[in-house]
Each structure stands twice: as structure tokens, then as C-alpha cells.
């Protein structure tokens, strides 16, 4: 059985291995041990903090095989972005040039540097090791954050976003970066990506042009990838779309990947979740549900076949132990 739990300091080696394995595009977790340790420390502090509204907290989770204790995946949520430095995106807008006298009417897609997502909560750092893929592990890793947010709503913003990895080739070359970003910097995309991952995104963004950019002036290859995801990221995007996330015309300033968004209250797994009382028995089978306990620092979440009642749900002893709940405890479930 695989279970989601908060990350802890003893997971540093597993996290470093995942960061090293993820390859180009995993900007939120560069493979630098000291940097990753700070991320773990911040997560532990966030889970321990008494919070009334979203701030600088960052909640990080890992996917663990409860039988072996092996960690094979991670994900995180930043409670509020852009509080210390600007959080940049490009907004894909539209500029119209028209002349009645010349009978000219041109509609031109245009990129505007934007801070519109400041203060939103951000889904970040989703990675699943190849050995853990299959059996619903990817779905659990993506959706567990919604169970946590449904339980602790006031810790998060009213709007949730996710920046999806943009298109790059097998060598890590980004057509969007080559067509736009490279003209303002003397570094390759992988170097820019590393600088971003180390927390210097605002510094680089401030060197980007502040004036609107006509996309028609970009190379065709760069235009083609605007708002598109890397093939490896397509399954993650599909899972978010099932939850109600939508692309609203915002893209990453470096690789052109789409940002998707949803109101927290409208996310499917949040809206459909409910609390039930635990009964211990043989288990009831049934449909697949996302199920979590209601603890903060002791949060546990998994997928299980359940047939919930009106006020209670029956769990077998193995599932109850994995979730660290006893008879009479509350759990939160959502049908998938």
C-alpha cells in the first residue's frame, strides 16, 4: 500500500535522488542538497505553525510504500506566492491594429508581463519515480493535496494555480527560450532554469522586456509551443483538468508552459469531499475514493475501494493502520 505523508528531515536522500532523476524542467527542486534541506525545514515549520491565513508556508508531501518504507514521489503546495518578490507570468492578450481608410484589420496575440497571480496558492514539485508509476500512484500524488486543502481551507488562498512544464527537446532545449529569453541573456536555458530553481526568478524576470511582445515576431517554433505542455507533463495536466483547472491565457516566462487555475471551493475533490466516522471491520469494497485522516502534522492520505454510508465508513485494519486512525475517528473521503 502507498500512502501520502508530510516530508521529514530523514527523507533528504530520497528527495535529492528524485531531484537528480527528474531532469530538465523540474525548476522548483534543483538537485542541491543544502537547498532541498531548507525546503524540508520550511515544510516542517509550516505544518507546525498556527496559521489563520495563507502566508510564506510551504507544505511538502512524499509518497511512501508502507511495507518497505521506500519513498518514491513528492509534491507540495505553496500557500501564497509573490509575497517577498514579484511572481511573474506572461498573459497572452490581444492587440488590434485597424485602419478603415486602408481597409486593414489585424488581430495580434501579445505577451504582457504580469503579476496577476500574486497571493494565490501554487501546486508545485510533483514528481513520481518510475518504479512507483502505475496502480493509481500518480493520481494519488496529484489529488492528495486537495484532501489536505479541503481539511485546512484557511491555510490557502481562494484561487489555486499550477505552472505546467513547457515544451523542450531531449537535450533540454526550449523553443520558447531560444525565441525570446535568449535575446536578453547570455546564458543557456538549463542555466536559466537552475537560477530560477534556486529562487532567483524575479531577478531574471526583471531583465525581460516590460513592453508588450507581439508573438508574430517570434520564430514559428516558439509560437507553436505557447501554452503547450511537455509530453511527460500531459498526464499531470489531465488530472488537474479533471478537477476543474483551466488555462486562462497565462504562460511561464521561460519555457512558455501554461498556468492553469481553479477556485479552491470549486475543485472537484474539495467540493465533493465529506467527513465520516471510522468503523473497523473487514472493509466494504466498492468505488475508488480518496481518503485521508484529519490530522495536520500527522496527515495521511491514500486511495481505497470503499462503500461509504451516510455518516460512517468501514475500513479494514490494514487501511486504518496506514491512515493512523482508530474506530470513532474522522476521515475525509471523496469519490473519484
Q: Mean pLDDT, to the nearest integer, of 251-270?
A: 96
Instruction: Choose one of 251, 269, 287: the last residue of a domain.
Output: 269
Are residue 145 and residue 76 in the same domain, yes or no? yes
Are residue 197 and residue 297 in the same domain, yes or no? no
Are residue 232 and residue 313 in the same domain, yes or no? no
Q: Mean pLDDT, to the nearest integer, of 224-230?
A: 95
Instruction: Choose one of 269, 298, 324: the last residue of a domain.
Output: 269
In a domain, 105, yes or no: no
In a domain, 50, yes or no: yes
Q: Mean pLDDT, to the nearest integer, of 119-142?
A: 92
pLDDT, residue 24, reads 55
In a domain, 179, yes or no: yes
91: phi then psi, degrees, rounded to nearest 5: -100, 125
pLDDT, residue 201, reads 65
Looking at per-residue confidence, does 274 or 209 come out higher? 274
Whether residue 25 is predicted with pLDDT greater than 70 in this model: the reply is no
67-101 residue pLDDT tens: 999 999 999 999 999 998 888 899 999 888 777 78
The candidate with the shortest Cα–Cα distance to 52, out of 156, 146, 160, 149, is 156
Domain boundaries, position 6 = 2-92+113-269
For residue 57, count other CB atoms closer than 10 A to its CB: 19
Q: Mean pLDDT, to the nearest integer, of 202-231?
A: 88
Are residue 265 and residue 283 in the same domain, yes or no? no
Looking at per-residue confidence, does 48 or 19 come out higher? 48
In a domain, 101, yes or no: no
Residue 138's pLDDT band, with cuts at 50, 70 and 90, is very high
Least reliable range by pLDDT among 103-107, 125-129, 286-290: 103-107
Q: Model-level pTM?
A: 0.92
9 contacts 62 by C-beta, under 8 angstroms: no
Burial 113-124 (b: 16+ CB within 10 A, else e): bbebbebbbbbb
Are residue 204 and residue 322 in the same domain, yes or no? no
- What are the counts of helices (DSSP H) followed by strands (DSSP E) for the chain? 10, 15
The count of structural domains within the chain is 2
The CA-CA-CA angle for residues 63, 152, 120, to 5°, reads 90
Q: Is 230 a catalytic residue?
A: yes
Question: What's the alpha-carbon Rg for the chain, to the nearest Å?
Answer: 21
CATH number assigned to the domain comprising residue 236: 3.40.630.30
| Mean pLDDT (the chain, rounded) | 91
Are residue 303 and residue 323 in the same domain, yes or no? yes
Are residue 18 and residue 124 in the same domain, yes or no? yes
- pLDDT above 70: percentage of residues in the chain: 95
pLDDT, residue 100, reads 79
User: Of 56, 97, 100, 230, which one is the catalytic site residue?
Assistant: 230
Amino acid at each position: 500500500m502507498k500512502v501520502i505523508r508530510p516530508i521529514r528531515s530523514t527523507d533528504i536522500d530520497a528527495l535529492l535522488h528524485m531531484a537528480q532523476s527528474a531532469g530538465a524542467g523540474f525548476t522548483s527542486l534543483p538537485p542541491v542538497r543544502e537547498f532541498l534541506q531548507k525546503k524540508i525545514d520550511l515544510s516542517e515549520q509550516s505544518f507546525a505553525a498556527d496559521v489563520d491565513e495563507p502566508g510564506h508556508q510551504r507544505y511538502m508531501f512524499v509518497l511512501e510504500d508502507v511495507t518497505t518504507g521506500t519513498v518514491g514521489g513528492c509534491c507540495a503546495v505553496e500557500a501564497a506566492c509573490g509575497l517577498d518578490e514579484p511572481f511573474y507570468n506572461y498573459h497572452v492578450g490581444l492587440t488590434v491594429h485597424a485602419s478603415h481608410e486602408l481597409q486593414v484589420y489585424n488581430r495580434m496575440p501579445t505577451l504582457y508581463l504580469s503579476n496577476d497571480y500574486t497571493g494565490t496558492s501554487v501546486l508545485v514539485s510533483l514528481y513520481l519515480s518510475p518504479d512507483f508509476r502505475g496502480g493509481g500512484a500518480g493520481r494519488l500524488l496529484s489529488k492528495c493535496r486537495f484532501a489536505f486543502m479541503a481539511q485546512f481551507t484557511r491555510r490557502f488562498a481562494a484561487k489555486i494555480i499550477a505552472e505546467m512544464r513547457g515544451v523542450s527537446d531531449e537535450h533540454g532545449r526550449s523553443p520558447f527560450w531560444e525565441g525570446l529569453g535568449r535575446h536578453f541573456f547570455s546564458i543557456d536555458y538549463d542555466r536559466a532554469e537552475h537560477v530560477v530553481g534556486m529562487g532567483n526568478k524575479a531577478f531574471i524576470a526583471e531583465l525581460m522586456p516590460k513592453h508588450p511582445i507581439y508573438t508574430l515576431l517570434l520564430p514559428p517554433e516558439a509560437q507553436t509551443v505557447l501554452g503547450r505542455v511537455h509530453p511527460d507533463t500531459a498526464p499531470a495536466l489531465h488530472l488537474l483538468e479533471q478537477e476543474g483547472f483551466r488555462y486562462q491565457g497565462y504562460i511561464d516566462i521561460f519555457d512558455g508552459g501554461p498556468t492553469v487555475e481553479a477556485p479552491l471551493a470549486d475543485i472537484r475533490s474539495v467540493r465533493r469531499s465529506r467527513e465520516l466516522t471510522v468503523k473497523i471491520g473487514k472493509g466494504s469494497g466498492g468505488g475508488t475514493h480518496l481518503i485521508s485522516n484529519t490530522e495536520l502534522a500527522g496527515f495521511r492520505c491514500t486511495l481505497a475501494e470503499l462503500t461509504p454510508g451516510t455518516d460512517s465508513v468501514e475500513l479494514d485494519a490494514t487501511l486504518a493502520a496506514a491512515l493512523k486512525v482508530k474506530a470513532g475517528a474522522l476521515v475525509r473521503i471523496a469519490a473519484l
